[in-house]
Structure formats: structure tokens, C-alpha cells
Structure 1
């Protein structure tokens, strides 16, 4: 436990100007943020400061060599004003896994957890209670040390910023199976939440949008024969009654929502297969009617249903089912997250 986290309160609050009934995702930011510097070979004590712009030298290595990793989390407030997190230690561990891959110093656990809890206590009023809303939490680390030499920086900055947000997606999306571009490669940084991974997705995704799709289904870099991820999310495919998702690897993010869906589905008796899934199998299943559902899974959307997909110039629509795995699993997860249901898995974390 860190006993000396300095708290510098904002002189004024922005909360009275916020329409909490009409929140866009990640557009409104809370009054404060957590900040922690790495200097002289060690992390300094975190502090809570007013949310503010950053001042960086033009030679800061983040601008030149892309040393930056981030996480995505949410805080929820139940009807009794209790504040909850969902599997926060998994986010902490994954942030350090990402940092290690990009030669960024790893954070101590108490700096992350105690700093986050302190920030949430300071900005408690920013955590919405409206159904479907939450306080989105963005921890990130970047190279703030200076120099043009191509090497790891000698200084880093860790920040946690928060944004009260409504639902991330509404409705189903139509996706395009990618045949040329790749999200990541063997031996690369696909398993890390590195900012550059997402920057590399924007151009192929825009090409898909120009064709009338909302997102891309990423395939493997070598053959483009295997389904890997859906946009910035993990992907699940339901063939008949079996739920299939690809195994994690150098290329695929070990998603926290993904892990939760697998455990939930298995606990409810839904057959789950974690294995390689070919594009050919998905297309064949769409043709013979055994493809029942496809959906993306991630922190922001939780579960985002896919209405159909395009491949090699042909569009395939998925059936409209009354009772879907996507809807039932999303409700189970969100009920646990918001303290509306029992949590037999020990995922929910109370902020006290």
C-alpha cells in the first residue's frame, strides 16, 4: 500500500457541464488523472493531478520510436453507490507484459492498483450509474525521455486517465475478411497492447469502410487462411452449438473479455473449442447454414454481434436468432461487472 500518493485537486470541476444521459465513448474526460514518472532508473511515487495537457520535448522518443503501451478498463457503480472493477489485476499484468516487449520498465503492482483506487476515490462522482454506462479507464505508458538515437528512452511517463462513457457500439456490424493486410506477425508485438498495432489497422479498416463494411476480420500474416481477430477485438464464431475462438499467440491479444467468455460458456455447458479456425470453414458453414453467430469481444463493447461478412466479393448474412450466445453471455458478464449477479469466478473487485 502506498501511503503518500499526493493529491492535487482541480480548482474547478467540469462535471456540471456533462450530460450523463448522452455520453459518447471517450469524448468527455474526468477532472483528474494519475501521473507517475520513471527517472534515474526507478519509478517515482504516483500522484493525482488535474486532467491537463502534457508538455513534451520534440525529441521525446515516443514521437520517433513508438514506445507506448496502454490498457482499457471500466469502473462501475451499483445502486448502493459501491464502485467495482472487473479483473483489474489481469489488466495490470498485461500492461507489464506489453511494456516488457517494448523495453519499457515494468510497473510495481501497488503503484498501479493503489494509484488507480486513489484516482477513482477522487473522481467518484464521475462514475455513472445509468445502465450501459461506465467510467472508462485508460492506463498508458510512453517514452518521455529525449533523443534521436534509436534506443530505449531513459525516462517514461505512466498515466491513468478516465472518461465517463455510454455504450461503445449499438447494433450489429458488417465485416470484411482481410486478404492482403495483416494486423501482426509471428515474433512481433501483436500480443501486446502497443499503440502502433492500432495505428497499423486504420488504413485497411478505412478501405473496408469505403466498401460498405464497418470493420475488418484479420487473418494470419502468412497464408491469410486463418481467422484471428475482429477489428480491435477478439473474435468468436458459433458453428451449430459450438463456440470457437482462436488460440492466443504472438499475433493475438490475450483478451480479458475473451478469457471471461470462455470460462462463462464452459460453466453454462456451452461447448467451447479454442483452436485454429480457417476462413474456408467459416465460409462453408455460412453456405450450409451451420454458422449461427459471429461476434467480437473486448473491454469497450464487451460483445459486439456481427450481422454478416464479405469475402472474395461475396457477402454472407448471418441468421437472426431470438436467443443468441452473444446476448446471453454479454448479460452474464455485465451483470457480474455491475454487481447485479453473483460472481462465482472472483472477477469483481470492490474499490474501497
Structure 2
């Protein structure tokens, strides 16, 4: 499998100009190289290679354009003060990619080979890893269906790619609290749908609600379950946590919530700290009741892009819930400092989460 396939490497002859690492947006500029690998029915995944970053050519009838058969991942690389290059739990990303592949009827990739390709790519483009506080190299592995065919059935051809982008904060607010509107009209997905997979359709389905929330001055929407519009699920780009009367609560995975890797890491961290934490079904009414009683102490989101994002305001049913006076709470700050500290090598990693990238 992975160990037996040689990754072909073609170096670029024209290196790009680097952006100002002190003034990075998110996902707007891309590094010099990309990883590509193709799949054909009967042949399987083949020809893994690293090539200069470039456009790809696809047939207009490619399945991805018409039926949305695609999956993706997101992770980051960091450079430490002592010049080490670290990845945060990358094996979990490729495990989840294959889980998404299952749901979208896409052939499994060799996780070991994918990780090997990723490490080689990061090593080659390591001078794109920014070292300014709060920055990182965002990594986007993804698979698209490429068979030219107008018919609703799984593709027989696929392309797996990894591209990378030096990034700053996902939200313009950075670690400052964001304002989030609770969505009551639209549904992103439902139990039994594709909510547990990282697939483009989930995000396309979220855009309208996000656009409306943005017009009202809110950064994101908090999705409720698609059936009853009662139970909290997740934010468009993050899982969500509530600290209620000393206990941290996050919605349990129910078939329509993405199993976040940062979410999993926070649950481990809180248990390690002996902070009361539970995964369970939680209604928006319970959240509002806790707020009215003065028991809603902190709210924060978690995800690869934002890492930890404190929530300073929730809008629901025309009611504004101002959390912790609109300020970042102590526990949220502690989690952010610990997770990012482990990611960038500033503090000890007791969980064996980080993987150092080294030259072969």
C-alpha cells in the first residue's frame, strides 16, 4: 500500500512571491506546490505526485459539477520557536476523510500514503509557514469525482489533491468574541443526511442563512436540528460548547453533526483537567433558560480554522443573550492557550497529538 508507492516530485521553476505574513487573510494565497493522485475503476488510486501549484483541467460533464460528489478536510502546520515543523493530529483528518468517503461512495484512500504525501509537501513548501503570532499554514486535502457522466451514480474516476495556504485568523475578530445568530428557518442537514461528512453540499446549504445573519451583523449561524428546530447542533464552521453552572456541555454526535477533531481534543483536555463535561442533547430553550438564570457562563466554538472562537452574543427569537458581558471567559482562554500552545510547540503535549515533519 502506501509504503510501496513512490511519490513523484516535480519542482516548480518559478517560485511565487510570498504575501506579507503580518497581514494574512484566510485561504486567499497558495503555496508553490500541490499533491495530486488519481483513481480509475479497476486500477485504484495511482500516480501520487507533488507538482507545481496549477489549474486543473476537467470535462464539463464531470460528476462533481452536477451531483456534488466531493469531500474535503482541513488541518494546519505550525513552525515552532526552535524551527520545528508540527502537524496537529493529521492521522485523524485522513481517518475522517475516509469516513466522509464512505458516506459519499468514494473509494478509500491509503491513509499512510496520504500522510506521507502531506509531510513531503509541507517539507517542500516549509518557507510558506508563517511564524507571526496567530498564523499558520492551512492545509486542504480534498477529493473530487471526475468521470464525465450525466447520471446519478458514483463516479468511476476521482482526483485527490492537497493544497496549502498561509493564513491568519479565520474570523476578523480573531480571539475576540463573535456574535452568532440562532437559525430557525433553514436546515443545513438532518439526521441520516450528510452532516457527519465533510462534503461541499453541507456548506452550500448553509450559505443563505449565513448571508442573512451577516446582513444583521452576525459572524455565523448556530444550527438547530432540521426536524424539530429545537436542539442545538453546530455553528457553520465550528462545533459549539456551553459552560452552564460550572459544567461544559456540547451536543452529542447524532448523525448530523460533524465529528470535529478540535472538539475531540477539547473533550480530552477538559477530562484531563477534571472539568465537568458532557456530550448530550441540549435544546435552545435550555440555553435560554440558563441565560435567564445567570448560569450561562461561557460559550465557545471549536474548529481547525478558528481553533477556539469565544461567543459573546447569541440572537434567538429576537432576544439577545450577552454572554460574560461580551468578553472572553477564563475557561475559553485557558483552552485556547493550551490547544494553540500544544499546536505550536510552546507547551508540553501530554496527549501525543503533534507530529513533527522532518526531512526524509
TM over 0.5: yes
Instruction: Give yes or no for the alignment of 1:180 onto 2:177.
Output: no
Look up the SS of the partner of 2:268 in the other structure. helix
Partners of 1:39 and 1:111 in 2: CA distance: 17
Equivalent of 1:50, from 49, 52, 55?
Answer: 52
For the 8 Å contact 1:2–1:114, the answer to whether it is kept is: no
Mapping 1:18-37, distance limit 5 Å: 18-37=19-38
Find the aligned partners of 2:329 and 2:168 in 1 and give their Cα distance.
24
Task: Give the match for residue 208 of structure 1.
Answer: 213
Map 1:1-352 onto structure 2 (within 5 A). Answer: 1-2=3-4, 4-14=6-16, 16-41=17-42, 42-169=44-171, 170=174, 171-320=176-325, 323-352=329-358
Q: Distance between the aligned counterparts of 1:304 and 1:231, measured in 2?
A: 12
How far off its partner does 1:323 sit?
Answer: 4.9
Deviations 1:85-104 (A, max 9, x none): 11111000000000110001
8 Å CA contact retained: 2:140, 2:162: yes
User: By how many angstroms is 1:342 displaced?
Assistant: 1.0
Q: What's the secondary structure of 2:324's corresponding residue?
A: coil
Q: Quote the offset at 1:285 in angstroms.
A: 1.1
Report Cα offsets for 1:282-313 as digits up to 9, x if no partner. Answer: 00111111101111110010011111111111
Q: TM-score, normalised by structure 1?
A: 0.97
- Deviation, structure 1 residue 153: 0.8
Deviation (angstroms), 1:3:
5.9
Contact 1:2 1:110 in 2 (8 A): no
Q: Distance in 2 between matches of 1:81 and 1:144?
A: 39
Give, in whole Å, the separation in 2 of the partners of 1:78 and 1:322. 26
Cα pair 2:244 2:295 within 8 Å, conserved: yes
- State how far apart, in whole Å, the 2-side matches of 1:311 and 1:127 are: 40
What's the TM-score, normalizing by structure 2? 0.95
Displaced runs of 4 or more, over 6 A: none
Unpaired stretches in structure 1, ≥5 consecutive residues: none
CA distance in 1, matches of 2:225, 2:321: 21
CA 1:126/1:322 → structure 2, altered by over 3 Å: closer, same or farther?
closer
How many residues are paired up? 351
User: What RMSD over aligned residues (CA atoms) do the two structures have, in Å?
Assistant: 1.2
SS of the aligned residue for 2:298 comes to: strand
Counterpart Cα distance in 1 of 2:162 and 2:287: 39
